[in-house]
Amino acid sequence: MFVRATPEEIAAVRDQFALLTDGVPDLPTDADTTPALPGAGIPAGQWVNASGCSAMEAGALLYVHGGGFAHTEPQSERLLAYHLSKATGRPVFALDYRLAPAHPFPAALQDVLAAHDGLLAQGAAEVALFGESAGGTLVLSALLALEAERRPRAVAVSPVTDLTLSSPSLTANDGRDLINRTVLEQVCAQYLAGAPADAAPQSPLHGQLDGLPPLLLAAGSVEVLADDARRFAAAAQDAGVEVTLDVYEGMPHVFHLAMLTGAPLTTTTTFLRQLADFVTRRSA
């Protein structure tokens, strides 16, 4: 789906991004940060529940944050987890995976897999995956690393799917996005630390995609990674995978984070509705 936006909406999203540099709002008072499941066997992370439901009944959403495999912003991640929980009607576990360069590939991927397995072992009815930017890459990598019958439904926003950085939009959208090729070259080199960029699971586009579960991919039309999402969606569909690809007109990398300011925007409202519809539809 191509999600159209007016020039005013595009400007509003970028304005909200600018506001985030002054700080992120506090977590709302109705956020429940009590662990939704016992912690044994689950890597470090933070529970946020705004759904009023239990993980044993509704399932859990495993949230894998972005930050170029190397950075974390706990306050922003907790607040996004709150919105994700509100939208999906289930508790969210925001994973604190190990970071590069101290812990390059495959450390973060191992943590995602351990969190997925740990949540199920501790009684979650099911686990869906959500990742943004580098976290989206890790989500898709995790699907490839899991056995076919254990692969959960997944959402990836603005993922890097081809770590060789050969997508045309890296050039076509240069100067229009919040990041650029130079940034991504540094990110990929630091994360891979000598591992090949043209191999899976670290570079999801280069994997065997048949047998993947239903996927929801989202990207902004002007981001340098737009074609990473498009190419992965096309390859997965060719492999028989059910894929929903939403491209948001005029939106930059990780545009969905504009919701963190609390301002009601058509773009982020649409994004959350698509997310809720995808998770609810697959749960039925």
Catalytic residue among 51, 76, 133, 203: 133
Strand segments, DSSP code E, in the chain are 2-3, 45-48, 60-64, 92-95, 127-132, 154-157, 215-220, 243-248
Among 147, 170, 273, 144, smallest CA distance to 229 is for 170
Is 83 noted as a catalytic residue in this protein? no
Is 82 in a helix, a strand, or coil? helix
Tokens 């897999």 identify what position? 113
Take residue 198 and report the two structure tokens written for it. Answer: 């043209």
Please identify which of the residues 65, 116, 206, 253 carries the catalytic annotation: 253
Side-chain-side CA neighbours of residue 43 (13 Å)? 19
SS3 247: strand
7 by DSSP, 3-state: which? Answer: helix
Return the structure tokens found at 47. 């529970």
Cross-strand pairs, 45: 95
DSSP structural state of residue 100: T
Distances (CA, A) of 64 to 19, 141, 165, 170, 180: 23, 12, 22, 24, 22
Catalytic residue list: 133, 223, 253
